[in-house]
Amino acid sequence: MQPDEARIIGGGSPSVPGWKAFGRFLIEEAAWLLAAFAVTVLVAQVLLATRWSAAAPGVALVGLHALIGLHVIWNDAPSVPAWLRVRWRDFAWGLAGGAVLLGFNAAYGWCLDAAGIEVPDVPAFLRELLPVPVLFVWAGGIAPLVEELYFRGRLLEAFGARIGPVWAGVLSSAAFAAIHGIPAFIPAYLVFAAVLLALRKRTGALVAPITAHVLNNTLALLLPLP
């Protein structure tokens, strides 16, 4: 692990320009994300008025992740090879992390059910929006890769350089939970983010959290929560 990487993801004493720099970065990043979201929604709305209307949901979901992925590659190209370096032990850590997530998901679903809390069946909803092959490519591949590059890659390091590793972990995890937009699942997403963050810190790269994320999403589509 490089000294700069250790500083950002939890080791050493970071050089923190301060919350003012963080606020400026946050405003710029939020503006870019809103623009990307607006573009994908606009394209989807145009498609809805054509004979390709069935493709609109896929274009919106895949397109937004594609734009975010390109945004990361454009801005953080020097860091991407280190983030994605392949070590077999990282796959093992990822599989272990994925098992933890699946176990927690099952327990959380049981708790919601026992409490009588009704939540949307997200896998069923997505199956209605997308053809099954596209759904598995997106949810089981594209989304985990891009979200880890963004939240545990770009945001974690950018936040860490400005406000230190502790707040970087807290705020990148909170952003990850909030972006999924289902209030009843926010506690679960916070745990999800904490596990993925721990994998990032443990391995110093993103292969382990990507592996855990892929495993969780793929099996969630096959075995939705009770």
When divided into structural domains, the chain yields a total of: 1
Is 55 part of a structural domain of the chain?
no
145 contacts 69 by C-beta, under 8 angstroms: yes
Is 35 part of a structural domain of the chain?
no
* Neighbour tally for 83: CB within 10 Å: 22
Q: pTM for the full model? A: 0.89
Is 161 part of a structural domain of the chain?
yes
Q: Is 14 helix (H, G, I), strand (E, B) or coil?
A: coil
158 contacts 25 by C-beta, under 8 angstroms: yes
Is 62 part of a structural domain of the chain?
no
φ/ψ of 91, rounded to 5, equals -65, -40
16 contacts 162 by C-beta, under 8 angstroms: yes
Read off the amino acid at residue 60: A
Specify the residue for token string 């952003």. 175
Is 58 part of a structural domain of the chain?
no
From first to last of its 226 residues, what are the pLDDT tens digits of the chain?
444 444 444 433 344 458 889 999 999 999 999 999 999 999 999 999 999 999 999 999 999 999 999 999 999 999 999 999 999 999 999 999 999 999 999 899 899 988 888 878 888 888 888 898 999 999 999 999 999 999 999 999 999 999 999 999 999 999 999 998 788 899 999 999 999 999 999 999 999 999 999 999 999 888 754 4
CA distances from 223 to 4, 123, 161 (A): 40, 9, 39
Is 168 part of a structural domain of the chain?
yes
Is 94 part of a structural domain of the chain?
yes
Full residue range of the structural domain in which residue 146 is found: 3-15+79-222
Is 140 part of a structural domain of the chain?
yes
